[in-house]
Amino acid sequence: MFVHRRDVQIQWGDCDPANIVYYPRYFEMFDDSTSIMFEAAGFSKQDIVHRYGLVGIPMVDTRAKFHIPSTHGDWIAIESRVEAWRRSSFDVRHNVFKGEALAIEAFETRVLVGRDPNNTDKLKSAPVPAEIIARFERG
């Protein structure tokens, strides 16, 4: 299974007045982590959109469990992996570590979306290409 790890330093602008990361900032980091993971696997979001005629890969469900807060200047490691593939969607898990401790467990579901061939004003889910699944399963 393909797992991507990246280190992120918490910036001043990530924090609220209590000097802890304001939770929506983590969701921006998770969104970036998914894009970076796909790029590391050889499939940038732009390539996927253009190659397969998609409009995008929106997040349709997300949640997180926060265990340990982070503050300005802290370094965290975000480990991201695709946990499940379905016809047109997939689940991503992000584990955030502060040192060796698990700080956050985050989950997102994304769907590949293209134009509906019967009505181009509407969007329709699109199947996940087999070559993408194969690359992630190889590791």
Would you say 30 and 110 are in contact if contact means Cβ atoms under 8 Å apart?
no
Q: What does DSSP say about strands 75-85 and 89-98: parallel, antiparallel, or unpaired? A: antiparallel
Mean pLDDT of the chain: 95
Annotated catalytic residues are 16
Helix (H) or strand (E) holding 86: none
Average pLDDT over residues 89-112: 98
Average pLDDT over residues 24-43: 96
Q: What pLDDT is attached to residue 138?
A: 85
Q: What is the pTM of this model?
A: 0.92
pLDDT surpasses 80 at 38: yes
Which pLDDT value is given to residue 25? 97
What are the pLDDT digits (tens) for 4-20? 999 999 999 999 999 99
Query: Is it the case that residue 68 has pLDDT exceeding 80?
Result: yes
In the CATH hierarchy, which top-level class contains the domain 3-138? alpha beta
CA-CA distance, 86 to 133, in Å (whole number)?
10
